[in-house]
A and B are shown apart, each in its own frame.
Chain A
Amino acid sequence: MAATRAGPRAREIFTSLEYGPVPESHACALAWLDTQDRCLGHYVNGKWLKPEHRTSVPCQDPITGENLASCLQAQAEDVAAAVEAARTAFKSWSAHPGVVRAQHLVRLAKVIQKHQRLLWTLESLVTGRAVREVRDGDVQLAQQLLHYHAIQASTQEEALAGWEPMGVIGLILPPTFSFLEMMWRICPALAVGCTVVALVPPASPTPLLLAQLSGELGPFPGILNVISGPTSLVPVLASQPGIQKVAFCGALEGGLRLLIQESVWDEAMRRLQERMGRLRSGRGLDGAVDMGARGAAACDLVQRFVREAQSQGAQVFQAGDVPSEHPFYPPTLVSNLPPASPCARAEVPWPVVVASPFRTAKEALALANGTPRGGSASVWSERLGQALELGYGLQVGTVWINAHGLRDPSVPTGGCKESGCSWHGGPDGLYEYLRPSGTPAQLSCLSKNLNYDTFGLAVPSTLPAGTEIGPSPAPPYGLFVGGRFQAPGARSSRPIQDSSGNLHGYVAEGGAKDIRGAVEAAHQAFPGWAGQSPGARAALLWALAAALERRKSTLASRLERQGVELKAAEAEVELSARRLRAWGARAQAQGHTLQVAGLRGPVLRLREPLGVLAVVCPDEWPLLAFVSLLAPALAYGNTVVMVPSAACPLLALEVCQDMATLFPAGLANVVTGDRDHLTRCLALHQDVQAMWYFGSAQGSQFVEWASAGNLKPVWVNRGCLRAWDQEAEGAGPELGLRSARTKALWLPMGD
């Protein structure tokens, strides 16, 4: 028999039956860092870029603090070089057929598969996350993402006809992130033909490794470029000429909020605490820990949160097998936090769960929806009816019924409210990086002269402008709010001229108070309208179409006053009626079922209304543009506040007369007045869920800036005219996409 290798400890372990260390060797990660002489630069155009005279930041093991490498910090010229490389690469990458891109993505997936140990050990080493999570979760999903998007790329020419890639995408990554989050964004971007410049925070080697793996594949070196640098470079990247879109990426999953029904509170808390007691924490590279550590900063953050929660009267329970030294922190259960305390509103840090009780499912829904966040939620209930009620009612991007944290490349993942409105995965993820063919490229020169504080702040005063010599009957007067015409709060009016400069009529001068009233009315009407079946919504839109046709001669004559030929005016009315009918029919398809690998049961991809949608109509096509925007918005279940054409709002007001008799009050509200002022009021209203703006470049810039306040999705035209009478621009799929948001509802099954 060979020599004995047994250690002395077996005897003690036999009695204690404790767990031992299961170290995962990270030799290959260190060897990779050695190939760069422990000095990481940037990866641009298939080559390492290590410019001289740059400051560097150490990349440390978050647990031991050991220096692993130093990372060069980019400067503006490095960013420019990366964008230039991506622009050059875009020319050939986007010109290739989708099949070629598909092959490249599949090759990248295979390279990742071959070097997966390097990838997972490096990621776990530098982030401190449990290696098991990275190995069994992230790395596998990264490959699935590449394969899924390869399939999408290969069918792009047929499935996504009418769309073209945007161009160079700037991707901004937060200080703590998983490389998987980056994959969710770069896979669809690359698949549809975009190229990417990712700005990663200092000391994040994994994206650099991915870029290297991609770059070394050969023919398309510049499609994925990674530069590492401070957040001060974000505006530099965003304003580089050629950058068509800037995508942000969320931080790692934080803590959780847990709502437990009062009747099972004690039992559930007991079980939760019992289970927490069995969690193991330790070095991320240990194969048998449930959780790693996320470095000193994360640890300080959670310490502060728990201390504050305690001082605000919360009960804190901590348990688990956790090393006592910094930066490890035990799993923490916080309960009895007074609802009005600051901690109850604040974002919960990892690894904390804040539990609160509720009495009824209705109350649970109100509590869950009463936060500014809208990423994902899970519902645990054995009652199917109740679970579905909650699943449909939650205002989030993803709902898991009796499961948590499942993801799949074919299921769109996104959010609403302050969790952002972009989508990853599934068909929705592709559209993030596409634009309708023929749309002008985005010019990234933002006007520095726009004063956000004063834009649209004051309304120029208007005086009586002579006698009205309009056709009879007189045009309707007032703001159409809550189903009837109302006098404006300011009690003043603005004159509307016809094409020959004569006074056509007066319209009400709406203001901030009127916008507030209109948004309120729209909110009141929303639950009823959103709850209607698509068929019922279509019926109403068809009724409006019929009413429009009955009113054809009045509408046509008003258009004539605006200088439109009679024939063209009649055609515009007819086309408007057709648009209403078409959207009523299209919105019948409200989603579909996805089948996901490894999951028993369906995933429902739902299309849900956004809520209250603010629409600022263009000056041109006063009837057709108004109706073309109104129809999809209503068809998908939104209620609207609309600012009609500033040049001729009278057409919209004519339509309002029919809406007053046909529509429930508040469904559509129309506010006339100074466009800039009304735009300002709407964009700064926190309870408007989405905004479409078709006006000046300045107005577009203002809307985008102001909407950052509640992160609502916006659609602006940057001062470019649209051909509303053309099918693609006036009624294309883009309008449908922007009229609703997607929700993924996971329904695992089994008895």
Chain B
Amino acid sequence: MSAHNRGTELDLSWISKIQVNHPAVLRRAEQIQARRTVKKEWQAAWLLKAVTFIDLTTLSGDDTSSNIQRLCYKAKYPIREDLLKALNMYDKGITTAAVCVYPARVCDAVKALKAAGCNIPVASVATGFPAGQTHLKTRLEEIRLAVEDGATEIDVVINRSLVLTGQWEALYDEIRQFRKACGEAHLKTILATGELGSLTNVYKASMIAMMAGSDFIKTSTGKETVNATFPVAIVMLRAIRDFFWKTGNKIGFKPAGGIRSAKDSLAWLSLVKEELGDEWLKPELFRIGASTLLSDIERQIYHHVTGRYAAYHDLPMS
């Protein structure tokens, strides 16, 4: 992965005048989904590309080392070998972008990936995921412990109460401390957009998170009632573009939660392509947080290659 975002000094003038136009964002969100599709080989190639953006995730109370091991194996071999051969893509080393687990499972994941002989990064959620309602001290400690266990990417949740009460400086300071606690690990900041109240707040929180040094901004934990939606994504992508125009730093984007179908993933790819351009379509700058998406993509690839719809048992479970 590339160098970190060093962040900038807090400049509240970057957010003070911002006002997001809700109906206009909704219209644009509708348009993008209706105007861009890909078919045939383009669809297959795009789907394989989407696989390389996936943060293959399991965040369940019943996670144990055995299902983490299975997840890691799936991350390494996301698509059946014969399908990749048929597409002449076997040598492309297609794996998912990362695996994403709870802090307590980081060790299991690191071990499993090592055993599989690959260097797929392990991402850990942290800072009192998913609500963030724990003491700052424990949240920071959580990050340090996850990094110690071998996580190279940390998905932190922000303190929503700071956004809702407009304490932007305090939010900036907290994320700054997360950044420091991460050390060499990448910082992915989850905005939990479903709980921020308005699109204007989404923009402001995005900008603060980037100024404070986040390498990625991420839509949601997957545990809120509203997860990754197109309107929210458009606002975050515009914030990323504005930050790039102001500082020259490219910040990554990660939608998560509710992205289950192959078709959805294609729409997300074209959204990023339309709003930010092809430079953002690489795992360093774009991730999709998902757990069941991969199997639907594999199913679609199977159909593309064979012309038949796969039976449940045709594809390995993850």
Contacts and interface: CB of A to CB of B under 8 A. Distances in A.
A44 to B, nearest CB: 38
A4 interface: yes
B135 interface: no
Interface in B235-265: 241, 245
Interface stretch (B15-23, B107-115, B158-166): B15-23
Contacts of A132: 34-35
Contacts of A270: 245
Interface string A259-292: 0000000000010001000100000000111100
Interface of A is mostly: loop
B225 interface: no
Interface string A287-303: 11110000000000000
A402 B89 contact: no
A504 B100 CA distance: 101
Interface in A1-42: 1-14, 17-22
B21 A402 contact: yes
A274 B306 CA distance: 40
A340 interface: no
A6 B38 contact: no
Interface-centre pick from A4, A10, A18, A20 (highest chain B CB count, 10 A): A10
B82 A5 contact: no
Contacts of B45: 9-14, 17
B47 to A, nearest CB: 10
A382 interface: yes
A522 to B, nearest CB: 39
B19 A20 contact: no
A553 to B, nearest CB: 62
Contacts of A5: 304-307
A19 B200 CA distance: 32
Given A2-B307, A5-B306, A17-B269, A287 B37 contact: yes
A476 B281 CA distance: 84
Interface-centre pick from A1, A3, A274 (highest chain B CB count, 10 A): A1
A108 to B, nearest CB: 26
B19 A382 contact: yes
A204 B84 CA distance: 48
Nearest to A600: B23
Interface-centre pick from B23, B82, B306 (highest chain A CB count, 10 A): B23
Interface in B283-318: 304-308
Contacts of B273: 17
Nearest to B245: A270
Nearest to B25: A750
B139 interface: no
B272 to A, nearest CB: 10
A33 to B, nearest CB: 26
A751 interface: yes
B241 to A, nearest CB: 8
Contacts of A136: 34
Given A4-B86, A382-B21, A403-B27, A9 B41 contact: yes
Given A19-B38, A20-B41, A132-B34, A13 B46 contact: yes
Given A13-B41, A17-B49, A403-B24, A288 B36 contact: yes
Contacts of B44: 6, 10
B88 interface: yes
B37 A22 contact: yes
A749 interface: yes
Nearest to B200: A751
A546 B147 CA distance: 90
A9 B281 CA distance: 19
B184 interface: no
A18 B46 CA distance: 9
Given A13-B41, A278-B274, A290 B46 contact: no
A20 B34 contact: no
A428 to B, nearest CB: 25
A19 B36 CA distance: 8
Contacts of B48: 10, 14
Contact of B305 (A6, A12, A287, A750): A6
A751 B34 CA distance: 24
Contacts of A287: 37
B92 interface: yes
Nearest to B31: A290
Nearest to B46: A17
A748 interface: yes
A119 B11 CA distance: 55
Contacts of B26: 750
Contacts of A13: 41-42, 45-46
Contact of B306 (A2, A288, A748, A750): A2
A548 B273 CA distance: 73
B137 interface: no
B91 to A, nearest CB: 10
A4 B35 CA distance: 30
A425 B140 CA distance: 62
Nearest to A383: B19
Contact of A7 (B27, B37, B41, B270): B41
Nearest to A400: B23
Contact of A288 (B35, B87, B278): B35
A457 to B, nearest CB: 55
Contacts of B34: 132, 136
Nearest to B32: A278
Contacts of A6: 41, 44, 86-88, 304-305
Nearest to B270: A19
A601 interface: yes
A685 B39 CA distance: 60
A18 B24 CA distance: 27
A19 B48 CA distance: 15
B198 interface: yes
A340 to B, nearest CB: 34
Nearest to A381: B21
Interface in B91-124: 92
A600 B36 CA distance: 25
Contact of B40 (A7, A11, A402): A7
Contacts of B86: 4, 6
A12 B19 CA distance: 41
Given A10-B48, A17-B46, A17-B269, A601 B23 contact: yes
B104 to A, nearest CB: 36
Contact of B42 (A3, A19, A380): A19
A751 B305 CA distance: 45
B22 A751 contact: yes
Contacts of A600: 23
A18 B306 CA distance: 24
Nearest to A750: B22
B76 to A, nearest CB: 19
Contacts of B306: 1-5
B313 to A, nearest CB: 14
Contact of B38 (A12, A288, A382): A288
Contacts of B200: 751
Interface of A: 1-14, 17-22, 132, 136, 270, 274, 278, 287-290, 380, 382, 402-403, 600-601, 748-751
17 contacts: A1-B82, A4-B306, A5-B306, A7-B41, A9-B45, A10-B88, A11-B92, A17-B269, A19-B270, A22-B37, A278-B274, A287-B37, A402-B23, A403-B24, A600-B23, A748-B23, A749-B22
Given A4-B86, A287-B37, 15 more contacts: A1-B306, A5-B305, A5-B307, A8-B88, A9-B41, A10-B87, A11-B87, A12-B45, A14-B92, A20-B38, A21-B39, A288-B36, A382-B19, A403-B27, A749-B22
> Closest 6 A-B residue pairs measured CB to CB?
A750-B22, A20-B42, A13-B45, A748-B23, A382-B19, A10-B45
